[in-house]
Each structure stands twice: as structure tokens, then as C-alpha cells.
Amino acid sequence: MKIAFLGLGNMGYPMAGHLAEKFSDEYAIAVFNRSHEKALAWQAKHPGWALTLSEAVADADVILMCLGRDEDVLSIVESAAFYQQLKPGAIVIDHTTTSAQLSQHVCAFLQPYQAAFIDAPVSGGVDGANNACLSAMVGGDAAIIDKVKPLLAAYCQQITHIGGVGSGQLCKMVNQICIAGVLSGLSEGLTFAKAQGIDANKVLTAISQGAAQSWQMQNRGQTMLERQFDFGFAIEWFIKDLGYCLAQAQATQTPLPATASTFEQFQAIAESAARLDTSALITYYDGLSHS
């Protein structure tokens, strides 16, 4: 069996690495990324670098993608170097966070080539990818998903079949909506603590064992106080994700007032903080308190 992995970004690189470490003795693994810098880094640790997209896809039984946006997925899937090399019966798995409509489009596009499609966005960030403890939200045929679960388990500790194609992306939208609310509340709360003159470190200690506790508080609370943001999930990507959420909400006439407000807050700091972790949202509140 041959496995192809397309996209060696901050998430894709460690995910593909876990696949190689677990399955390279059993399966042929080919990875592809447009950046040759990534190629050199990969070749230093793992076998299976493909110089071209067509070389990676040719004869692959399973093709995994971890890219950036809807447009990036389309540029790969609708490339002749991709679809002309598809093996009948191949399974294409997209870990990219995209719109649900994109997943449905790709699924329909692949049908004439006898390839199955699964949308499987993940949550857990770079730390989750590095430590092989991501959560995958999966949309597609149950029988197909069962076939590839052992591969996904190389870097996912939780694999949940949500429903049909596109439902994985809808679940990821729920995930991002919840994160937006938590980040906004945590930023606002810590800013309030500072303004009242109480020790914010003690505040974190006190509330982190109560009902306000969250992943963001546990993993980002202290660094937010220290204004350290040069790691984690970049704001520019979160803005992209929230854009998909708001577009889906508008299409289904679903009000998301809190998410829309947080989206605007991120946009307000994006020019200077696009590459910083999403926890840098607290700097938006810094600006409010100084105005």
C-alpha cells in the first residue's frame, strides 16, 4: 500500500512524521510540499520525498492533505497532476480546515475518478500535532472511515465520525466558535483583573480549578499575562476559520453575535499581529483600556 501526504506546514509536517515513524516499514510513504526548504528538512529525517505532485499521487491508495484554505485545496485537487494520477478506489482525506461547501465540491469532483473523499479537520494545534494527540472531526462514508482509522490514529487520539461529507467541517466550525468565545472571555477577564489592581497570577491560580477552567486558560493564561505570543495558532488562520463560520451562519440564517464581535476584534489587531498566537487577542483589550 502507498500513502501520500500533501502539505508540510506547521501541522502537516509533524502529522506526516508520525505516519512515517509508524508505517514506513509497512507501507510506501510519499510526501509533497511546494517548498524545497521543507523537502530538505524532511529528507534529513524520513524517506519518501516526492519531487512533484504527480509523483506523490501516482498509485497512492490513500492521499492525505493538510493545506491552508479552500483555494489551496482546489489548486491541488483540480490540477491534472492530481486527478490524472488517481488510482481507482483511492481514498482522499482532507485535514485542511475549509468550508463545508468545498468538501462537498471536492467529493463530487472526485467521483468520476472512482476516488472516495473524507473531510477530517483536526483540532489541537501544533502541540497536538507534535504530540500525536489531535482530535479529528470526520465526515464521509462510515465504511471508508473505518478503513483509514489506523492511519489517522498515528497522530489523532480522538477520531469522531460526525456524518456525511462536509459534516466534519461543520463540527470544526463549532470548535472554532467555542474557542473564539473562550479567548474573548479570558482576555476580557484578565484585563479586568489588572484594571482592578489584583494579582492576575493569583487570579489564574484561583479560577483555573473552578468552572472557568479551559484549555486556553491552562495553556495560554500565563503566557497572555507575560505577553508572549510567538508560538501556537496564528491569528491570520483563525480569522480565515471564523470567516467560514460566519459565512455558513449567514447562509443558514443562524445568528452568531458573539463570534461576529470576536471576529472584528481579531481583524482590528491583524495588521500587527497576524502571525502571533490567537491568545494575542488580549492586546485588543490593552488598546481599549488605554484609550
Distances (CA, A) of 227 to 42, 92, 190, 235, 278: 32, 40, 12, 15, 12
Cell of 216: 486556553
- The Cα–Cα gap between 242 and 240 comes to 6
Quick check: is 172 catalytic? yes
- Picking from 205, 202, 204, the residue whose alpha carbon sits closest to that of residue 186 is 204
The beta-carbon contacts of 281-289 under 8 Å, at least 24 apart in sequence, are 281/183, 281/184, 281/187, 281/235, 282/186, 282/187, 282/190, 282/191, 282/224, 282/227, 283/227, 283/229, 284/187, 285/187, 285/188, 285/191, 286/191, 288/191, 289/191, 289/194, 289/195
State how far the Cα of 159 lies from the Cα of 138, in Å rounded to an integer.
7
DSSP for 195-254 reads: HTT--HHHHHHHHTTSTT--HHHHHHHHHHHTT--SSSSBHHHHHHHHHHHHHHHHHTT-
In three-state secondary structure terms, 116 is: strand
As a dihedral over the C-alpha atoms of residue 100, residue 101, residue 107, residue 110, rounded to 10 degrees, the angle is -140
Cα angle value 175/67/9 (rounded, 5°): 100
Which of 172, 194, 202, 240 is flagged as catalytic? 172
Residues marked active site are found at 172
